Amino acid sequence: MSVNSGTAASSPPASSSLPSSSSQTNNASPAAADAVFAKFAAYDWAADQHFQAGLRSILPPPPPSSSDSDATAPSPPPAAAAIEQAKFFYFSKFVHPIDKERYLEWKASSSSSHTSTDASSLSTADSAPSQVPPAPPPPPSSSSSAKTESATNGDFSPSGAAAGTVTTTTTQSSTNLGGDAHYPRSFQEICEMVARGDEVPGIRQIPDKLNDAPPSASALGPRKKPWEKA
Amino acid sequence: MAGVLRFHTAGYNGYAIEYSPFFENRIACASAANFGIVGNGRLWCLGINTAAAAAAGPAGGGGGITADRVYDTQDGLYDCAWSEEHENQIVTSSGDGSIKLWDVTLSDFPIRNWSEHTREVFSVNWNLVNKDAFITGSWDQTIKLWKPEAPQSLMTWQEHTHCIYQTVWSPASGETFASASGDQTAKIWDVRQRASASTIHAHNAEVLALDWNKYNPNVIVTGSVDHSIKTWDVRFPSRETRVLLGHEYAVRRVKCSPHSGDVVVSASYDMTMRVWDTAAASPMVHVHDLHSEFVLGVDMSMFFEGQVATCAWDEQVTVSHVPALGHKKR
């Protein structure tokens, strides 16, 4: 009945499992993290049409929400801050979850040896993280969920993306899903399609209209809640 | 009811599941295609057929849950709430910011549609006391108050500084509700005031979930990206009354039992639903590991103590009897 594997333990984890799981998500494979940071550093933003299109949609009229005021508060020009924010959001959502603070730390401390070597091994690091339990499906990562959710503040959400939940398959190659023909496309595949601007198949146009028929009349009174009976 | 009943929300990833407050065998599931990234939404009105379930035996399986009605929407559906005053009506909230009211005796289209929120609406909740109103919480950082017959929202609150993930009415006061936000706080509100009544810095991470204790009107429960669940006495917001540890990833939803002031259930990105007895020395009393992806929705039956429904990104709805939910009397 249960097909859970890996971290979805059915036995109650001791409190000691908390540090270990967080270390797994945060620190376990520094090499992989470095690879992600290097990939971000080397990312060709100018060539990414979808990013550029999204950027045009949020600039030059800055978003009206409060994150706008956040962006104008610090010293860098608002546009630069917004673009940086958008980059982190976009990268987290469509390439790989990335923690802005840790990236900045990494960038500040990284020597030149980091970037070139790690960048070359990006693709394998992405698809074969050493500490992630076997899929399918892969375990979620709350730390990366958090990043995605935080990143939503960047007001750069091309398509009503799911809340923060969506990083589950970012470390997984889609072939892992091969066992079940009915299993949907992986999260990463969908993200990549959206990022490329591909049309995701199967989206239907639902008429935006109200029901012509009159609503039903209520015939029942409310039932008491269990806590109201006591 | 023996075993586990399952339903496949084919092509749609479950986001929320809610028992009808009128019909004991009716549940609704709000869902989104493509994990909610892009594409359509679907509201499922499901019937729980306990006779078929009994016939299927302890192994459970097919036939126990049937789709009585499905409604398709342009964008993903992230939450739903049954009307507390009209047994056939249910409201949904969507990724495109829209709120739709449905009459389940009708097919295809909603009877109301509101489009005021400018971002994803992750929460909708019907007032349990003043049963003619509901609230929504959105990524646009606002909370809005609605009545089914009103063409516009009646009130908008803007105080959170990040996405709002959940808004829940107090079961004891029709004027009081609480909200959970990515700004790491939970806030308590009175509908008659523009500013919140209090702010709880609940976690050092985003607060994704929240509920009110049904038997102690001052107690709320929060769930967070930090994996923890905390209980709070809202009169003393500076410190939680209990921390419940065990989930291995972010806690996406928490609900307080309708039958006991001590029982809390939670759904998590760790693919489990867990049952907690907040009065026990070892509070985690059950781990429900029936899913193979993020569990986003959970609800407890008000009519059958111990019955619980879940939905998840694995396209599965489960209905099962969890003894740990029923063992505890208030």
The residues, any chain, with a CB within 8 Å of residue A96's CB and separated by 6 or more, are: A36, A39, A40, A126, A170
Region for B246 from its dihedrals, namely left if φ exceeds 0, alpha if ψ lies in -120 to 50, beta otherwise: left
Tens of pLDDT, residues B90-110 = 999 999 999 999 999 999 999
Q: Closest to B111 (Cβ–Cβ): which among A18, A149, A210? A: A210
CA of B78 to nearest chain A CA: how many angstroms apart?
9
User: Are B170 and B132 spatial neighbours (Cβ–Cβ below 8 Å)?
Assistant: no
Burial of B195 per CB tally in 10 Å (0-12, 13-18, 19+): exposed
User: So what's the ipTM on this one?
Assistant: 0.90
Residue with token string 């700004």: B183
* Res A210: pLDDT: 97
pLDDT higher than threshold 90 for residue A60: no
- Length of chain A measured in residues: 230
A213 touches chain B (CB under 8 A): yes
* Residue A192 φ/ψ, nearest 5 degrees: -65, -40
B91: closest CA among B113, B75, B119? B113
Query: B208: which chain A residues are within 8 Å (Cβ-Cβ)?
Result: 149, 164
- Contacts with B182 from chain A: Cβ below 8 Å: 149-150, 152-153
> pTM for the complete prediction?
0.71
Q: What are the backbone dihedrals phi and psi of residue B294, each rounded to the nearest 5 degrees, phi first? A: -50, 135
Contact of A92 with chain B, judged by CB distance below 8 Å, is answered with no
Q: For B165-183, give the DSSP string.
A: EEEEE-SS-TTEEEEEETT
Mean pLDDT of chain B: 94
**Does A125 have pLDDT greater than 80?**
no
Does residue B304 contact residue B22 with C-beta atoms inside 8 Å? no
Give the pLDDT confidence score for residue A143 in this predicted structure.
34
CB-nearest to A227 from B87, B171, B315 is B171
Answer for the pair A126, A35: CB distance below 8 angstroms, yes or no: yes
Helix (H, G, I), strand (E, B) or coil at B87: coil
Nearest to B290 among A1, A149, A159 (CB): A1
The size of chain B, in residues, is 330
Nearest CA to CA, how far is A166 from chain B (Å)?
7
Of B40, B75, B269, the CB nearest to A165: B269
All residues of chain A having their beta carbon less than 8 Å from the beta carbon of residue B36 are 160-163, 165-166
Asked whether the predicted pLDDT for residue B151 surpasses 90, the reply is yes
- How distant is the Cα of A59 from the closest Cα of chain B, in angstroms? 17
- Measured in degrees and rounded to the nearest 5, phi and psi for residue A119 equal -60, -30
| Closest by Cβ to A226, choosing from B110, B249, B259 | B259
Is B274 in contact with B233 (CB distance < 8 Å)?
A: no
Sign of the CA dihedral running B117, B177, B256, B86: negative
Give the pLDDT mean for B229-258.
Answer: 97
Are the Cβ atoms of B248 and A166 closer than 8 angstroms? no
Query: What does the alpha-carbon distance between residue B207 and residue B180 come to, in Å, rounded to a whole number?
Result: 5
Residue in B closest to A93 by C-alpha? B37
- The span from the CA of B97 to the CA of B93, in Å, is 7
Predicted confidence (pLDDT) per residue in B195-238, tens digit: 999 999 999 999 999 999 999 999 999 999 999 999 999 999 99
Contact: A160, B96; criterion CB under 8 Å: yes
The answer to whether the beta carbons of residues B139 and B162 sit under 8 Å apart is no
By CA distance, what is B318's nearest residue in A?
Answer: A1
Residue B271 CA to residue B209 CA, distance in Å, equals: 16
Of B19, B7, B9, nearest to B52 by C-alpha is B7
**Quick one: tokens of A157?**
């959400």
Work out the minimum CA distance from B26 to partner chain A, whole angstroms: 14
Tokens (6 digits) for B278:
């907040």
**Closest by Cα among B272, B300, B297, B296 to B286:** B272
Tell me the pLDDT tens digit for each residue of B4-44. Answer: 999 999 999 999 999 999 999 999 999 999 999 889 999 99
Which residue, among B22, B23, B260, B271, would best test binding to A if mutated, counting the most A CBs under 10 Å from its CB? B271
Q: Yes or no: say if B13 and B315 are a contact pair by the CB < 8 Å rule.
A: yes
Interface test with A, best of B9, B22, B37 (most A CBs within 10 A): B37
Q: Which residue in the block uniquely carries the two structure tokens 């009877």?
A: B111
Tokens of B317: 């709805």
Nearest residue on chain A to B120, alpha-carbon basis: A160
Beta strand B26-32 pairing with B41-48: antiparallel
Q: Is pLDDT above 70 for B158? A: yes
In the structure, what pLDDT confidence band is assigned to residue A44 with cuts at 50, 70 and 90? confident
